[in-house]
Structure 1
């Protein structure tokens, strides 16, 4: 991909000066679910940080909608507290004052037509008073059970219908259904009200700088692409490990589990980005086309009993703290079979990846918090050294760290200083924090700005969502039909024995992050 073509199609650069980022045009955002943790800890701070970086228009407005008896100033206080506690960028009084002038609040229930008429009136007033230009995004930071109700109310109130030359967009958070059938129904409900290109399905992992850097690593560097295939790669491991438990989310988590919570969306999206062919440009259709090809080519092993693993954390030590097991968490049934750890073996049936296994794992109460993609290479076919010189030599690897310390590590063999020939594994590390003076924006900053700009390359469309459920559904059905009991693992360790067996059957082992 030539640099000229990249610049021409780069949606994040100003059309008149490629060195400058694009700034959102006149618009507002209506946020449903403003009392929730996501809004308070992520969305409101991200909006302030965007304003602080000069990426929002002067008249940008934020409308809160919730079942609260609040006035505009009460909502402003909620946003203020959120910003002061969670914002990434320094607090500036002048930025805050300018942003707060556009805050409005509409009280009401999701099924209350009068509340939505009041919301429509508020939006019209913003067009007149703040110059939002008829452009409005509706952020549904609410449980999926309410998506249909809110979308229908947006339709009935006319809020979903733009006038010529304006836009209306809807933003929905995962989970995108709980299986293929429910995902299709959810997609039908949303796309009956909003056209497909106006629906933005948020996967916050796709806003991570390092996830976006997968494309730069692969396609902007000639040194990697020739070896990014089955001729040189032995296998790929994608890990999302958390050191925390479920907290107070038992009501949600015990009906979902690790596989549906993160593998169906986050990890399969990381697989698609890592395995995809080069897109013709960094545009939504081009990137999506290549990801869809990968997901459509991904298959499960024939024997799901040996090609998957399921676990549940028990009491153990998380650092210096003794933590309780999953079944002892508040709200979890004593006989719960919900997995807090899931691992899968997959294959991507394309010419590039034929025969290369992909191992995905996700879990809570593991050894440390880390999300990474480890591309493990085959051993050198011939080593002209004595066995003692390379006894501890492992495989070369490229490890893309998504969190918490974004960066890339390369592992290779090097001679140990001294008079004799001894080769040992060493690592070369690149960290974003050490290499760039500008700190990485929080994921939601990038994603919200993409919504306001109307640029969806990082957002999964309904076809990707449905293909992901096609991959995962047989696993969940197998576990449920066979009554597969999750294997116990102590908190602070790296998962159940069945996960280690999954790898040992193939003569491999999990990488220790």
Structure 2
């Protein structure tokens, strides 16, 4: 049974790093501003020799925006956490210092590894179960390992420290609102389920195109690329939510079992020159500003052939989805930001002679940020009553009241692993993409080029509107 004991102390390893300042602390501030994390103590640790004033300045800066919008209770929580926080210079890979720090903290403690994966692995290897306060939770950032084997080894290491339901493998892309919006749409509407299968759906596209370039993240991104960074983790999870059979409950075990079942049935089939594409942006204009060629960005090693746009066709080999392509695409420096899932239905088997105007199948679009539902339908008129026009039924879905990392942290602090990726699923995601990565490393799939600010290479079917 999942331990719902509330965390007393949040320990961030890598507290002086970019992830902490840009995402973790603002997410925590939003959560505190709601009054839902009262009594928490925040502790930062890192390799940099920061003074208490440096750390306090970072925390205060991240909390300021949330404080300006918070009510009295929220302001009190923000002030209390900022006033009691501390920073410690620690070599987390050395045997002893991290355990000594943990021994000083009130448990339960959530240890957030805001560190490169290989450093997180070393930090876990020097810890022992008896050194952890009772109820400790371990929070791991993506990518979880560098492949299926390393993910399996990391899972084994974590299992020696805490139970599986005390491990949170973060997927900030899938906030609680997004997950429940998809599940509510699918399973609360009787008219959808009978057509949610290979007999009525032609293809499913899941797209996350960003109108941002590298933005100074070469140190991480150039070693990852679009396939590892987005598709291997986030987009495969969206695929699973769209493809799973109805779970009995929304309890984390039922839902994560259903997700795991779908991913075990999923593969990218060879030849990969047909089922996958990759490309890298060249110089162009994005949002009115000039963007250099990717290989000219500081910190990029051109010899790595890192892709900034990836597209793979995933097959879900089960009764419901056999033969339906799931096309997953993610790219940087694309002219139009696009974050959505598009379900394209098969054409009607016969349109009575006399009607005109239908030139494309019906589509259902589920937008991610903003969360919007759009259903295309064909209706008569106006004008010629025999001419069918495309109309869109649009609804705004439930919007989250927290930033993505605020939702992640709330699940961690309350012991709810619903939004975290289970160990076997993390391994399966690597199993799905590793053959593609090996094929790409051999050059069997060409690395195409596209101008920054464009829709992608000419001829890619998922460019622009799906």
TM-score by length of 2: 0.92
Counterparts of 2:151 and 2:380, CA distance in 1: 53
Whole-angstrom CA distance in 2 between matches of 1:341 and 1:109: 36
**Further displaced range: 418-427 or 147-156:** 147-156
Larger RCO, structures 1/2 (Cα 8 Å, 6+ apart): 2
Cα deviation for residue 257 of structure 1 reads: 1.2
Q: 1:317, 1:323 within 8 Å by CA — same for their partners in 2?
A: yes
Aligned position for 1:109: 91
Partner Cα distance (1:77, 1:52) in 2: 18
Q: 2:366 aligns with which of 394, 400, 405?
A: 400
Rounded to whole Å, the distance in 2 between the matches of 1:266 and 1:484 is: 23
Secondary structure of 2:122's match? Answer: helix
Alignment of 1:474-493 (within 5 A): 474-493=435-454
Deviation at 1:153, TM superposition (A): 4.0
Which of 204, 210, 213 lines up with 2:178 in the alignment? Answer: 210
Contact preservation (8 Å) 2:93, 2:119: no
Q: 1:428 aligns with which of 381, 389, 393?
A: 393
- Kept after mapping to 2: 8 A contact 1:310/1:496: no
Q: Is the 8 A contact 1:450 1:456 kept in 2?
A: yes
Partner Cα separation in structure 2 for residue 205 and residue 348 of structure 1: 22
Distance, in Å, in 1 between the alignment partners of 2:362 and 2:197 is: 14
- What is the count of residue pairs matched by the alignment? 463
Q: Please, which of 23, 28, 47 is the counterpart of residue 47 of structure 1?
A: 28
The more displaced of 43-52 and 491-500 is 491-500
Kept after mapping to 2: 8 A contact 1:234/1:377:
yes
2:195 counterpart residue number: 227
Indicate conservation of the 8 Å contact 1:67/1:108, yes or no. Answer: yes
Corresponding residue to 2:13 among 29, 32, 39: 32
For the residues of structure 1 that align with 2:148 and 2:391, how far apart are their CA atoms? 44
Query: What SS does structure 2 have at the residue aligned with 1:193?
Result: coil
- Give the corresponding residue for 2:161: 193
Structure 2's unaligned 5+ residue stretches are none
**After superposition, what is the alpha-carbon deviation per residue over 1:64-86, rounded to whole angstroms, capped at 9, x for unaligned?**
11134445454232101112257
Query: Could you list the runs of 5+ residues in structure 1 that have no partner in the other structure?
Result: 1-8, 12-21, 128-133, 501-508
1:19 aligned residue: none
CA contact under 8 A between 2:197 and 2:321: conserved in structure 1? yes
In structure 2, relative to structure 1, the CA distance for the partners of 1:370 and 1:83 (3 Å cut) is farther
Q: Does residue 468 of structure 1 match 2:423?
A: no
**Equivalent of 2:376 in 378, 400, 411:** 411
- Kindly indicate whether the alpha-carbon contact (under 8 Å) linking 2:67 and 2:75 is maintained by their aligned counterparts in 1: no
SS in 1 for 2:169: strand
Instruction: Report the aligned-residue RMSD.
Output: 2.4
Instruction: Select which of 113, 118, 132 maps to 1:160.
Output: 132
**Residue 250 (structure 1) aligns with:** 218
| CA distance in structure 2 between the aligned counterparts of 1:28 and 1:324, rounded to whole angstroms | 43
Cα deviation per residue 1:17-72 (whole Å; 9 max; x = unaligned)?
xxxxx9x7351111111112221122112222222212113x21111111344454
Distance in 1 separating the partners of 2:353 and 2:19: 55
Are residues 86 and 337 of structure 1, via their aligned partners in 2, closer, same or farther at CA, if it must alter by over 3 Å? farther
Q: Does 1:77 align with 2:57?
A: yes
- Check the 8 A contact 2:47/2:89 in 1, yes or no: yes
Kindly indicate whether the alpha-carbon contact (under 8 Å) linking 1:218 and 1:224 is maintained by their aligned counterparts in 2.
yes
Matched, 1:458 2:458: no
Give the Å deviation of 1:190.
2.3
CA offset at residue 118 of structure 1? 4.5
In structure 2, C-alpha distance between the alignment counterparts of 1:178 and 1:316, rounded to whole Å: 31
The separation in 1 between residues aligned to 2:216 and 2:447, in whole angstroms, is 21
